[in-house]
Amino acid sequence: MQNRLEKMIAVITGSARGIGYGIAERFAEEGSTVIILDLNQEQVDEAVSRLTAHGYSAEGYAANVTDSERIGEIFKELDAKYGKIDILVNNAGITKDNLIMRMKESDWDAVINVNLKGTFICTQKISRYLLKQKSGCLVNIASVIGIMGNAGQANYAASKGGVISLTKSSAKEFASRGIRVNAVAPGFIETEMTQNLPEEVVKSYSAAIPLQKMGSIRNVADLCLFLASKEAEYITGQVINVDGGLII
């Protein structure tokens, strides 16, 4: 443990598994108290148990990032309990891929709602506490797809492009109170989902990446840690890719 986030209170959405859990674990290793926020209570409890078993400080809430009332209550409770909230990572995200011709409006709405509106809701609900305390930092998980687009992912690309614009706008809005907002744009990252892809598919993905391999959850978590730490105190409104050079 290096204690780069000592005594920090960090909320990570969508953190019962995958990249979100990896970010929570990385932050916890650096001394942060981490708040696991995800849809399913059992999965939240399991993630919290895994972290506390390592001696880390963690607690969890089952919540949907699109439920503004519930999200507001959670931040209120955390502020009352800890007297401050330092970091929010807006990581919760979903995909519902299809070609535009075949995409159901409900799939468009669902992806925009969770990925973009959910990020807005969490940003809005935490902002009153961060603005009051005149400190804090937000890291929004976007995607390289939000920059370059992708056939079959118009809803996802639009949501992540929106997250990037929201990042820049909130960075400008909050900067005078010392609050930083940045976005991380991962490329192809090895997760539980991609672990089951056939070897040929992984090879073809990797061939398009200058560093010739998929990224790890740890690669994304390390960038989030840097952006949340004091080392990034002069960085705001930026989108940083962690993609092995996929977009150069």
Interface ranges with ligand NAI (CB under 6 A): 13-14, 16-20, 38-39, 64-66, 91-94, 114, 118, 141, 143, 186, 188-189, 191, 193
What is the longest distance spanned by two Cα atoms in the chain? Answer: 52
Catalytic residue among 61, 82, 156, 205: 156
Strands (E), the chain: 9-13, 33-38, 58-62, 87-90, 136-141, 179-186, 239-242
Nearer CB in complex with ligand NAI: 100/193? 193
Nearer CB in complex with ligand NAI: 9/145? 145
Tell me if residue 156 is catalytic. yes
Chain CA centroid to CA 149, Å: 19
Nearer CB in complex with ligand NAI: 92/154? 92
Tell me the Ramachandran region of residue 219: left when phi exceeds 0, alpha when psi lies from -120 to 50, beta otherwise: alpha
In the complex, what is the shortest distance from the CB of residue 196 to ligand NAI, in angstroms, rounded to a whole number?
A: 12
Chain CA centroid to CA 63, Å: 15
Place of tokens 């919290």: 48
In the complex, what is the shortest distance from the CB of residue 245 to ligand NAI, in angstroms, rounded to a whole number?
A: 15
Tell me the Ramachandran region of residue 57: left when phi exceeds 0, alpha when psi lies from -120 to 50, beta otherwise: beta
Task: Just list the catalytic residues.
Answer: 156
